[in-house]
Structure 1
Amino acid sequence: MVKCMINDPHPPLHKYHQSGDLIIGGIASQNFIVSNSIDFTENAPPVLFNELLTLTKNYQHILALAFAVKEIDENPQLLPNITLGLQIYDSYFNAKSTYHATMLLMSSLKRFVPNYVCDPQNNLITVIGGLDPLTSLHIATILDIYKIPQIIYSPAPVMNDKTPGLPFYQMFPNEEHQHQGILSLLLHFSWKWIVGIVMDNDNGERYVQTVFSLFSQNGICFDFIERVPQIDFLSDLLDKMQESAQIQDKVMESKANVVVAYGESYSTAFFRFAPFVSDLGLAKNITKGKVWIGTIQMEAATFAFQRTWDLGQIHGALSFTIHSSDPPGFHHFVKRRNPTSTTEDGFIQDWWEQLFSCVFPNPFQNNLEKKICTGEEQLESLPKEMFELKMTGHSYSIYNAIYAVAHALHDISSSLFKRRAIMDGEGLKLQTQWLMQLHHFLSGFSFNNSAGDTVSFDQNGEIVTEFDLMNWVTTSNNSFYELKVGKIDLKSSPDQTFRINEDDIIWHRWFNQVRPLSLCSDSCHPGSRKTVKEGQPFCCYDCTPCPEGKISDQKALVLGIFLKHHETPIVKANNRNLTYTLLLSLLLCFLCILLFIGQPQKVTCLLRQTAFGIIFSVAVSCVLAKTITVVVAFMATRPGSRMRKWMGKEMANSIVSSCSIIQAGICAVWLAVSPPYPDADMHSVVDKIVLECNEGSVFLFYLILAYMGFLAMVSFTVAFFARKLPDSFNEAKFITFSMLVFCSVWISFIPTYLSTKGKYMVAVEIFSILASSAGLLGCIFLPKCYIILLKPELNNRELLIKRKAM
């Protein structure tokens, strides 16, 4: 028979106790223990903790628990006449300690007696934890026996046949939203070739199975997926260091510039020795930069819970975090925290020593060589990678979890007890009643917290919140700060769910602030096609010339760039709608050559020259309108000028419409009087019959060319005289060059066209169409694309105004 006199043979190293009518338990994850392996050849020796790594930023999770309970206890409107207490233990990131801590929550405060109620004041009502899925699973296997609800602030663990249906109330959003967010990020930057890094456990495998299929369906391939082992024992340290070096080399040597990392909060501890593996000759000294994309669990803080870590690798990393707000009073609460101001907190002393590299006096240890802690050190002086005063995403989830329990308990007290409840003497009975009701009230409700945010749960009992996309930037003094560069808003419409401010992102220094590319193979140029490489993923291919009789269906990339960056100054300048019209007409110019290919038919003969003439007239008219707009804008700036009434989009639209209508009229007359038709030429080539399109009225055909040439000459003349005017981004100069190329092509076209026969006449016209279209596209838009993609710092309103004033 177990008696209540038995003491705990292995008392916890760290605990936090605060008495109350109802106790909220907490399983913290602040200290990471790496111990020697034990061989049970003899009686089990006492456990020796060889290394205790304190994740200093995780102490804020404990502070969030304490602060929320303090606010609720001081609020007369919430849970009146009932006080909440706290009982917190550390999981130490291992199963044994987690089970032990959970059993301690179920036992008396002073005696370790599982399944016995020796202390009527231990009214455990719920447990908050853990930080990682596996920790949450260990806690749940114990709590499920007692039907005590558990609120987790991590992804739900993977269930197996032995753990079906364990109840979790999740303050962590559904991971599918995070997967979609990473996918949106990859697609936004066209990163199609990536490296995956996951922890070697069930959650890592679930992640691989989920995203591999999701990413593949959207054209994204993995160069490789590396599974990172966990650090269990110090005796395995050398092997782990060697494995770390091998993974580091493999990642850095990969052609992929993007690394998506998924793991537990402590997973980056695997790379703890990365700064030293090169010195030991275990890894190559590779300085190439990568874009690291981290998930919510892998906060950037865990990259640097030691002061000696090199943060250079994470410079420019992108990471999703849970949206958080700062509750009023939290900063003041944290600043007042020190080892001398609290007696119930058993975590703070080790945390304080780790933060300030000092020790508190201990008569059993020789501390003469170390700085003595005074307890008056200032938290404001600490770098952010060690500790933050601002509430982080995980802490905010814990804060909301406490309030969710409090609101649920308040509703229970209002419905179940119509009288003032007295807890003494009825602890077990009342605790059972509270627990029965708490499971029901924790599902599907919402409330407003003190930070002004609405906390709500969906039909599955999962919290509905936002994700923030953060950019981690390191400094020369081995510190870092975070920039919010985007968000995922689950309450918005599907097309507005993912938002990003690309111009705010600071990339790794290796990329020289140019948007990184991550492709296995470059895009194939027009006239070539993709050929899959044997044994390689579909993202890897060779570009081979299109076979005879086939064409390439490459996209209008310049139009896509301008549409994507339509709100930037360089696109808005010089009439954005006119630019789109010009780009669209140039796209049609390239496509109209399809009418010249293949056996002549009645429809193609009627359309090819008329379509070519009208489309080119629209393109040249747009160029002419752009040029005239520059001249009118300059003249309108003169005092007393009457040209101001011509300013605006109406003038440009009128020029394009009128010039195009004239060409369309000529084509209509041609089709009405003497239209082209399929014909057979039996005289041009000896012993061969050439199928061709007879142009019908040759005069009207050359009239179309002449009118197009007239528009080009006018555009060239106006652009030439306007080339030195203060034009935005020097567009007048670019138009001058484009018209020079255009006129040169078509002036040389006429004698060449007249001197050829049969199919070579068609080839000459196709070449002229492609060359002149490419000349317009290249001379006018390539300089702009260069600025948009490679020199984004020049794409700003200040520069635009400065150039106009010059």
Structure 2
Amino acid sequence: MVFAIDEINNSTELLPGIRLGYQIHDSCAAVPVAVHVAFQLSNGLDPVFHPGDECSQSGTVMAIVGESGSSPSISMSRVIGSFNIPQVSHFATCACLSDKQQYPSFFRTIPSDQFQADALARLLKHFGWSWIGAVRSDSDYGNNGMASFLDAAHQEGICVEYSESFYRTHPRSRIQRVADVIRRSTAVVVVAFVASGDMRILLEELSREPFPPRQWIGSESWVTDPDMLRFGFFDGAVGIGIQQSVIPGLRNFLLDLSPSEVAASPVLTEFWEDAFNCRLGESNAADKRVCDGSEDMQKLQSPYTDTSQLRITNMVYKAVYAIAHAIHNAVCQETNFTTHCDKLSGLESKQVFTQLKKVNFSQNSYDVSFDANGDPVAFYELVNWQKSETGIIELVTVGYYDASLPVGQEFRINRNLTWLEGGTQVPVSMCTNSCPPGSRKVLQKGKPICCYDCVPCPEGEISNATDSPDCFPCREEFWPNAKRDACFPKPVEFLSFDDVLGIILSAFSVGGALLAITTASVFFHHRTSPIVRANNSELSFLLLLSLTLCFLCSLTFIGRPSEWSCMLRHTAFGITFVLCISCVLGKTMVVLMAFKATLPGSNVMKWFGPPQQRMTVVSFTFIQVLICTIWLVLSPPFPMKNLTVYKDKIILECALGSAVGFWAVLGYIGLLAVFCFVLAVLARKLPDSFNEAKLITFSMLIFCAVWITFIPAYVSSPGKFTVAVEIFAILASSFGLILCIFAPKCFIILFKPEKNTKKYMMSKNQY
């Protein structure tokens, strides 16, 4: 402060012709002393300090620089605020001092703890620490700073395992209790919002006993204090520091101490004797040698002479210059490129207070201004305690924090950090390990939100982020992968010609069609033989044609469903089967009518000749064609994606369109089959010459059994097996008909030709 005032008094640009005076008080970090001085300054200084007419207003204080601590500053501001005496602090950081209702005349050149709290919270978030411990000074600085930090940490999702407070005047048992809490905790990271003097006591207590490694995160009050670096077990500490600065000429000013200046000041006398281990004159330090004048300040290595890391020092420098600029703006005027200052004007502290709100200047490349709350723009350095090759702890600047930048861009880290115990890997401090993608967090009852269990996502849901609070379902046509961290399109399933099941069914379909064609060929080749002629060869050939179509229509059920294939498969199946049953029904009726015709006086066969048989088949088939046509016109089958049968895949199938139409087609086939079965049963005991009725009865029995069992199997079969069941029913009933009706005849034709004679046919023996 003295250096800055000397610079200003020797300046020709700032307050030319005016000299600033000052008085320095030491509050000893005690609130009562600070309040006492505040009252003293408010009441005016003793005139003895202002002899003559050199001072414009004897005993009037224009502004106050200080205090260093938040609690003394709060007390002082409440006293001097009523008198509009501006107070500019260089180290009081409590966010509460930004309240202009309570502290209207308070300004500061150091950022508010609100910015520091936000910076610390974002620092923790940046390195992924969510489980921390917290200690603070039991003072306005510690309590208000920690309250701001905890609020910012909560917004960042950070949990606090413990929050302990202490003060340097507390009994040792209280300090021990705080140290024990730190030792027993599970949180690896400890945030210390502690004043430098308090932190020194805590570190001394922690150094008495070994304790688990802890990653310390410090506030600017202690983390940049050079005196703290002697605690070697704290290497790797990270914290927020005030920006370093360079003040040209300060070192030379500090070293330029004459013996007379030293002897005139008790403070400098004590410093001198301690630095050089000697005593000046009649000092009380009788155990030391007398200083002989050979002491050289240039060779002294101490915090006093170290101006390489000026942090808080620059805040004092800025505060003095801010007050000087405010006074300059109040009493000086620019005229014709010259500055004229009237030192005899009745300057009041209120004018300085008003001008202090408006100051905006740059000194040594550092901008100085105040916002509406009396705070400067927040700019911090990120500092790290790193052990050098010689084993000495050094304070290294590794990055910056600029609160004026957009959210998420405030931090800029440009050097590697050293962590606890000299490690290079960022330590982990979480109550629970992060939940990987594919799971979600479930809070543990009675514990903070950072303590949770990781529960796998339920079926059909995913989470694609670490520590996801919820799982969300995939879209309708998508399904999670095995890890449940991504959705993929569901596989499409249908009965294709590439499936083993599809190949088998296709083979049986083609085989059945070839069997029917072969049978027709055999019948055609032996069409003049008695057994072919006796069994209504015309209906037999038509039946074989319909069976061939029945076998082939099952192929339409295989392959990717399309609009045309869906309409074709059901209608072709319904029509060909009715044609088949109609032929069997015609053969059965011929058997019955033939027996009736042998009775005396019966003339029934003239009503059931070949034309009538053809008309019967056409009529029965036409009815089915009509049913299918109505079905296709009103509500035809169509391809659809079935998403309900299986959750993890899509079934391509043909929707019935109208269930009534489908069951009407099946019902009509069933009605004809039952009617045919009843007629065949009635004809089963006819003479052996007409025992084809027994074969028809057996074939209809198989047919009805297959389709009766088809209904529950069709309803209950999932996915592509529904189609397979339908194909199986078609093939089974078709094979039943061809084997039961035509196999015995082909056997006789091919292997028992002796039975294929008219004589044998007219006999009573069974063939």
2:435 is the alignment partner of 1:504: no
1:124 to 31, 47, 61: 61
* Alpha-carbon contact 2:100-2:373 (below 8 Å) kept: no
Aligned to 1:291: 215
Matches within 5 A, 1:418-567: 421=342, 430=345, 433-449=347-363, 451-475=364-388, 479-501=392-414, 503-509=415-421, 512-547=423-458, 549=459, 551-555=461-465
Matches within 5 A, 1:86-97: 86-97=22-33
Aligned to 1:247: 178
Return the alpha-carbon distance in structure 1 between the equivalents of residues 562 and 81 of structure 2. 84
1:596 to 469, 490, 502: 490
1:390 to 284, 303, 308: 308
Aligned to 1:317: 237
Equivalent position SS for 1:195: strand
Return the alpha-carbon distance in structure 1 between the equivalents of residues 13 and 272 of structure 2. 35
* Amino acid aligned to 1:254: S
* Alpha-carbon contact 2:135-2:163 (below 8 Å) kept: yes
Aligned to 1:182: 120
Aligned to 1:150: 87
Return the alpha-carbon distance in structure 2 between the equivalents of residues 470 and 132 of structure 1. 22
Equivalent position SS for 1:505: coil
Return the alpha-carbon distance in structure 2 between the equivalents of residues 229 and 271 of structure 1. 9
2:9 is the alignment partner of 1:69: no
Return the alpha-carbon distance in structure 1 between the equivalents of residues 218 and 647 of structure 2. 64
- CA 1:410–1:455 in 2, change beyond 3 Å: closer, same or farther? same
Matches within 5 A, 1:644-683: 678=641
- CA 1:554–1:100 in 2, change beyond 3 Å: closer, same or farther? same
Equivalent position SS for 2:400: strand
Return the alpha-carbon distance in structure 2 between the equivalents of residues 680 and 419 of structure 1. 89
Return the alpha-carbon distance in structure 2 between the equivalents of residues 373 and 760 of structure 1. 108
Equivalent position SS for 1:273: helix
Equivalent position SS for 1:320: strand
Return the alpha-carbon distance in structure 1 between the equivalents of residues 37 and 412 of structure 2. 42
How far residue 338 of structure 1 moved from its aligned partner, in angstroms, is: 6.3
* Alpha-carbon contact 2:481-2:487 (below 8 Å) kept: no
1:270 to 201, 216, 219: 201
How far residue 759 of structure 1 moved from its aligned partner, in angstroms, is: 9.9
* Amino acid aligned to 1:504: N
Equivalent position SS for 1:325: coil
How far residue 485 of structure 1 moved from its aligned partner, in angstroms, is: 1.2
Return the alpha-carbon distance in structure 2 between the equivalents of residues 197 and 373 of structure 1. 48
Deviation readout 1:700-747 (Å, 9 max, x if unpaired): xxxxxxxxxxxxxxxxxxxxxxxxxxxxxxxxxxxxxxxxxxxxxxxx
Return the alpha-carbon distance in structure 1 between the equivalents of residues 146 and 114 of structure 2. 13
- CA 1:125–1:163 in 2, change beyond 3 Å: closer, same or farther? same
Aligned to 1:99: 35
How far residue 263 of structure 1 moved from its aligned partner, in angstroms, is: 3.0
**Which structure has the bigger radius of gyration?**
2
Return the alpha-carbon distance in structure 1 between the equivalents of residues 643 and 354 of structure 2. 86
Task: Show structure 1 runs of 5+ residues with no match.
Answer: 1-64, 279-283, 424-429, 558-585, 606-668, 682-687, 697-756, 762-806
Return the alpha-carbon distance in structure 2 between the equivalents of residues 302 and 473 of structure 1. 13
Equivalent position SS for 2:246: coil
Return the alpha-carbon distance in structure 1 between the equivalents of residues 161 and 145 of structure 2. 16
* Amino acid aligned to 2:18: I
* Alpha-carbon contact 1:136-1:157 (below 8 Å) kept: no
How far residue 274 of structure 1 moved from its aligned partner, in angstroms, is: 2.1
- CA 1:410–1:689 in 2, change beyond 3 Å: closer, same or farther? closer
* Alpha-carbon contact 1:137-1:157 (below 8 Å) kept: no
2:218 is the alignment partner of 1:218: no
Percent identical among aligned pairs is 24
Equivalent position SS for 1:376: coil
* Amino acid aligned to 2:71: L
* Alpha-carbon contact 2:641-2:651 (below 8 Å) kept: yes
How far residue 111 of structure 1 moved from its aligned partner, in angstroms, is: 7.5
- CA 1:226–1:275 in 2, change beyond 3 Å: closer, same or farther? closer
- CA 1:97–1:531 in 2, change beyond 3 Å: closer, same or farther? same
Aligned to 2:669: none
Return the alpha-carbon distance in structure 1 between the equivalents of residues 232 and 178 of structure 2. 17
Return the alpha-carbon distance in structure 1 between the equivalents of residues 111 and 646 of structure 2. 72
Comparing 491-500 with 161-170, greater Cα deviation is found at 161-170
* Alpha-carbon contact 2:246-2:308 (below 8 Å) kept: yes
2:73 is the alignment partner of 1:136: yes
* Alpha-carbon contact 2:461-2:484 (below 8 Å) kept: no
How far residue 403 of structure 1 moved from its aligned partner, in angstroms, is: 1.0
Aligned to 1:714: none
TM-score under structure 2 length normalisation: 0.57
Matches within 5 A, 1:608-647: none
Equivalent position SS for 2:332: helix
* Amino acid aligned to 1:433: L
Return the alpha-carbon distance in structure 2 between the equivalents of residues 302 and 253 of structure 1. 29
- CA 1:759–1:295 in 2, change beyond 3 Å: closer, same or farther? farther
Equivalent position SS for 1:513: coil
Return the alpha-carbon distance in structure 2 between the equivalents of residues 164 and 338 of structure 1. 45
Return the alpha-carbon distance in structure 2 between the equivalents of residues 177 and 674 of structure 1. 72
* Alpha-carbon contact 2:362-2:368 (below 8 Å) kept: yes
Pairs aligned (count): 501
- CA 1:553–1:141 in 2, change beyond 3 Å: closer, same or farther? same
- CA 1:303–1:191 in 2, change beyond 3 Å: closer, same or farther? farther
Equivalent position SS for 1:169: strand
Deviation readout 1:471-527 (Å, 9 max, x if unpaired): 1224587743221111122343444322123x52122226x3211111111012455
- CA 1:214–1:160 in 2, change beyond 3 Å: closer, same or farther? closer
Return the alpha-carbon distance in structure 1 between the equivalents of residues 36 and 424 of structure 2. 50
Return the alpha-carbon distance in structure 1 between the equivalents of residues 45 and 219 of structure 2. 38
- CA 1:593–1:456 in 2, change beyond 3 Å: closer, same or farther? closer
Return the alpha-carbon distance in structure 1 between the equivalents of residues 251 and 179 of structure 2. 39
Return the alpha-carbon distance in structure 1 between the equivalents of residues 132 and 294 of structure 2. 47
How far residue 336 of structure 1 moved from its aligned partner, in angstroms, is: 2.6
* Amino acid aligned to 2:369: S
Return the alpha-carbon distance in structure 2 between the equivalents of residues 500 and 671 of structure 1. 62
Equivalent position SS for 2:24: strand
* Alpha-carbon contact 1:692-1:758 (below 8 Å) kept: no
How far residue 453 of structure 1 moved from its aligned partner, in angstroms, is: 2.4
- CA 1:476–1:301 in 2, change beyond 3 Å: closer, same or farther? farther
* Alpha-carbon contact 1:466-1:488 (below 8 Å) kept: yes
How far residue 399 of structure 1 moved from its aligned partner, in angstroms, is: 0.6
How far residue 536 of structure 1 moved from its aligned partner, in angstroms, is: 1.1
* Amino acid aligned to 1:399: Y
Return the alpha-carbon distance in structure 1 between the equivalents of residues 386 and 448 of structure 2. 33
Task: Show structure 2 runs of 5+ residues with no match.
Answer: 468-479, 497-559, 567-638, 654-716, 722-767
How far residue 413 of structure 1 moved from its aligned partner, in angstroms, is: 1.6
2:306 is the alignment partner of 1:404: no
* Amino acid aligned to 1:436: K
